[in-house]
Structure 1
Amino acid sequence: MDKNERRISCYSSLLIALLVNTPKLLALREKGIVAQYWHFNPLELLYQFLFNLLFCGLIFHLNLNPFSKLSVYREKNKISLYVISNVSIFILAVFLGGVLQNKLFFTPQLPKAYLAGNFVRLFLSSILMAILIKIVLLVRSSKNKEAENEQLKMAYMQTELELLKEQMNPHFLFNSLSSLSGVIRENPALAQKYVRDLSTFFRYALNPSKNNLVTLSDELTMLKAFARLVTMRLENAFKMDINIPAEALNYKLPHLTLQPLLENAVKHNAATLTKPLNVKLYMNGALLVLGNNLNEIPTPESSNCMGLANLNERFKIMLKKEIEISKSGNEFLVKIPLKP
């Protein structure tokens, strides 16, 4: 039982014990019918109340505790054993309560009334408890289904994220190895630096945080390593300006957000000494903006859209927000929401 179920059990036991023993107070009326047969005894009323309270508490515990025998019978659909066990406890409680009350508070006028009275009180208590137990079990079942659905949803989201990342990583690996091949031929010394920055990137890419969200500071460290790879390949035909205030560095965003955007800019734009590719990264209010000048290379439209669509899907899944894309005559901007 969880905390709420224990509270329900305790309060319900107390309320039921009070309700079924309230008629005993009718014996206080000296001229009443009950007073003719039953002398009011406060100690006897206290005994009945406490016995009823213990009975209710026991039934709630045995039926709602997931580790009790009765709960095991119910979960395994052994209904006959479940019902027989509850009925046996009821009968035992009726006789035990009646015998004890008869020994402690014997009334010569009604020698057998204790068993009958105890039967009526516990029977009414059992009906009320059966209703409450059924309600608690229905609520518990509903919560369990909600938890299972949430787990399935999280598993689906995780799988979807992995699939989206798998679609991006092969492109980057292919492009990186192609660039490395060219650098090795032209400048072996520079190739060593290229390999170091490449290993820095892959170390970061293959070790994401547990919840797939990283700080902007970590993402910038990786982006700078990737930018150095681009600079080694394009030299003075590529320029990057990063202007991020210190207070924004602890904001969070999905792992591997910025690298695909920079790679996308390099892939789809020509970069020359006369018209270099200029990439800017800055904050605009609560949004992180990555922009570049346009000198587009004709490419299939789908190749550009797929990478941005994948990134947007990741943001919808993880932050419940979408990236904003704008394109003017000479500039391409991607506005990225961050999690404070």
Structure 2
Amino acid sequence: MSLPALSTVVSTWVFALLSVCFTGRLPALEEPLPARERPVIEDPRCPFGTRHSQLPTRAVLDSRPQSPLYRGGCLEHIVFLKGSLKDGMFSNGQAEAFFRRNPSTGVRPSASVRLMRKSRYTLHKVNSWLTAYEVTFEGTNLCAESLYQPGAEGELAPEPPSGTALLIPGYWDESDGIWRAQYKGENVFTAACYDGTVAKCAHWGYVPWGTYAGKSLQPYHQACVPAARAEYDHVKAYTCANTAIDIFDNLGLLRRSEDSGFSFESRWNAKGLKCVARPRWKGCETDLAGVLGVCEEPVLGQSWGGDLIGIRSSADRGLQNFDSVSSVSMPFLCPVEGVEDVGCQGQPD
């Protein structure tokens, strides 16, 4: 062995012995960096996020269908509640709420919540009523911080009561984003604050137990939820809160706006996305390279080929009150649910 090589070996062993003396362990050669963990979002206003002793496991905030991008108060923690509804009304005052599965045990933690019926209102054009509920856990209103911002025009109903939720039959499975009517053979329902996507879709007119033009609106509600969330792949939402959209359907319940600031984006049916011509936000083209394609805007009165809902969004970006002048200095980041920097923070409300 040459002297330079011997010197290298001796230096390596000296470094190793010094490491043992000071750290108590041998240094790992080319030790891999720890895997980046998905950030856990805690909401200090929510008892489910801070009182860990109340549940067998901590329930994280990003359970579908509301997601961090559509803040629905503490009800974001709840995946579904056990029980049956009649026209969106629940007869019993107490309900058992279930959360995301514990990944290690497969068990869903649960807790009892109280449902207090509030005011009832009707939707224009739709033969149905919507009943608002206050959902509480140990005296805490789980929708207390939720605010609904009605659109400038086109609302089918008056502004709903603040701090309340809608009850919708079935639930959106957090594992695959698919709507299901039952869980393990039992009837369940979703409680959604009004700033959550599920409640918005019903308030906009797609009431699951309602009808319009002789058609059930249940499949339209199923199409509306992922459409509003820009959930192009059944897994992630590619939008931010307060992103303005123009939603319309093949029944004429919600009609296409003539606003020149919007252009056609995507088509949806009860199973989710049918096709997308362009992403709702600039910067997502690369992420959605396998999804983007030919997608013609459907026209009322012509065949939609089984599709139910169309979406038009801003040709520029779509945020309400967005100042186009500032777009030069603001990067167009692709907002993807579940990513630490989704590109939504610091944007106009």
Name the TM tier (shorter chain).
under 0.3
Q: Where is the helix percentage greater, Structure 1 or Structure 2?
A: 1
Q: TM-score, normalised by structure 2?
A: 0.26
Q: TM-score, normalised by structure 1?
A: 0.26
- Of structures 1 and 2, the one with the larger relative CO (CA 8 A, separation 6+) is 2
